[in-house]
Amino acid sequence: MIEALLGWLVATFLLGPMQAQMAEQLAGARAPAAVVRQVTECGAAAAPVLLDRAAADPWWAVGTTFRVWIGALRPEAVLAEAAPACGPAMQAARPYLAGG
């Protein structure tokens, strides 16, 4: 029960906003469709890892969410850390992301 609630919180307040922010920035910067697709796939691949980490360390989840919301932590950094295979996709997206 608590894990389901935590999963919902992480998906709602961390994953969803991160993915929406990156998708908006990529669309606004007219990033190639291939880059957008790679970033979207990486977000999906990172979701279970982030949920597992949040379940194991709720304070990490709270701190990470807060830091992303205030802009102290870039969403792509969270995804790249959670799913190291996303590194190339994040690198390709960097020129299109604000502050990249």
Give the pLDDT confidence of 36-61 residue by residue, as tens digits. 999 888 888 888 888 888 888 888 88
pLDDT at residue 19, rounded to an integer: 84
Give the pLDDT confidence of 26-37 residue by residue, as tens digits. 999 999 999 999
pLDDT at residue 1, rounded to an integer: 67
Give the pLDDT confidence of 13-29 residue by residue, as tens digits. 888 888 888 888 999 99
Give the pLDDT confidence of 67-85 residue by residue, as tens digits. 988 989 888 888 888 888 8
pTM: 0.75
In b/e form, how buried is each residue of 48-66, taking b as 16+ CB within 10 angstroms?
eebbebbeeeeeebeebbe
What would the two tokens of residue 47 be? 């979701």
**Which of 6, 3, 17, 21 has its CA nearest to residue 99?**
21
